[in-house]
């Protein structure tokens, strides 16, 4: 026990100051980083197109035995209509030009029988609305958008009715400056690299700071215990010496 306490005391004396300095530096670093990220905007990629699936569900649910209600498409019954809502947004820092579309943007509802109808529901500006209605077309299970002009933060939402549920929704495109589309399965999946990075860095700094503070506290406590033990040891040692002296005194007088 004596050796352990001595080692702990030596360790706290040698490295306690270092741990304190590192802890202070980490705390300052966490504060500076938080201030920095709070005052700097998110760096957006130059060009980015994001497609968000808002929902996909049956168009209606039959709750009665009335079979007279039917949806027809080109005189053919749509037996299993599904409704999908997709929002397309320019989430980059630069406009996406019409000439950037080297191939059309195609949304393929694979597994469905066909796309029955596509309707533009909302649009950030009238020009985008008119352009979509003029250029988009349907081919089988695909909604095809040849090209569009999208300013930064331009967005539009399309409702698509399919005959049958799609097993998967596949996007294909060839747009200059956009190697891959950003696809979200739900609106809750936000493009949030900034928040993610800040949270991760904050967690790392916090863990390091807590660990160092814990070591410092542990070292201080052990040092206090060591001092207390040392004091008790010295007191006991003095008592033993006094007892030995008192024991030997009569012998000396007798001589």
pLDDT given at position 115: 94
What is the pLDDT averaged over residues 168-179? 87
In angstroms, the CA 37 to CA 56 distance is 37
| Contact present, 73 and 113 (Cβ < 8 Å) | no
Spell out the domain ranges in the chain. Answer: 2-39+196-244, 49-176
pLDDT given at position 35: 66
What dotted CATH number matches 49-176?
2.60.40
Name residues whose C-beta falls within 8 Å of residue 222's C-beta, 6 or more positions apart in sequence: 5, 8, 9, 12
In angstroms, the CA 161 to CA 56 distance is 10
What is the pLDDT averaged over residues 226-235? 74
Q: In 10 A of CB 38, how many CB atoms?
A: 8
pLDDT tens-digit readout, 20-47:
676 667 667 766 766 666 565 556 677 8
State the angle between helix axes of 2-38 and 193-254 in degrees (0 to 180), rounded to the nearest 10.
Answer: 160
In angstroms, the CA 24 to CA 7 distance is 25
pLDDT tens-digit readout, 191-206:
444 455 556 666 776 7
End-to-end C-alpha distance for the chain, whole angstroms: 42
What is the pLDDT averaged over residues 155-180? 90
More confidently predicted of 172 and 46? 172
| Contact present, 59 and 80 (Cβ < 8 Å) | no
pLDDT tens-digit readout, 89-98:
998 888 999 9
| Contact present, 222 and 8 (Cβ < 8 Å) | yes
């Amino acid at each position: 026990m004596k050796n352990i306490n001595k080692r702990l005391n030596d360790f706290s004396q040698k490295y306690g100051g270092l741990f304190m300095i590192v802890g202070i530096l980490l705390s300052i670093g966490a504060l500076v980083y938080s201030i920095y990220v709070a005052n700097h905007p998110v760096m957006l990629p130059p060009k980015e197109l994001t497609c968000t699936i808002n929902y996909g569900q049956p168009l209606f649910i039959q709750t009665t035995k009335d079979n007279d209600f039917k949806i027809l498409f080109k005189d053919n019954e749509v037996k299993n209509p599904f409704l999908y809502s997709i929002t397309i947004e320019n989430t980059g820092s630069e406009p996406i030009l019409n000439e950037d579309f080297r191939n059309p943007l195609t949304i393929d509802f694979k597994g469905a029988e066909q796309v029955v109808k596509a309707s533009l529901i909302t649009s950030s500006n009238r020009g985008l609305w008119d352009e979509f209605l003029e250029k988009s077309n349907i081919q089988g299970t695909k909604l095809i958008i040849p090209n569009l002009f999208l300013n930064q933060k331009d967005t539009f939402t399309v409702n698509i009715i399919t005959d049958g549920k799609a097993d998967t929704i596949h996007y294909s495109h060839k747009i200059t400056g956009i190697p891959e589309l950003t696809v979200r399965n739900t609106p809750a999946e936000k493009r949030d690299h900034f928040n993610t990075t800040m949270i991760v860095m904050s967690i790392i700094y916090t863990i390091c700071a807590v660990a160092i503070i814990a070591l410092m506290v542990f070292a201080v406590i052990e040092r206090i215990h060591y001092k207390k033990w040392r004091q008790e040891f010295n007191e006991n040692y003095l008592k033993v010496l006094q007892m030995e002296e008192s024991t030997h005194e009569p012998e000396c007088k007798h001589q």
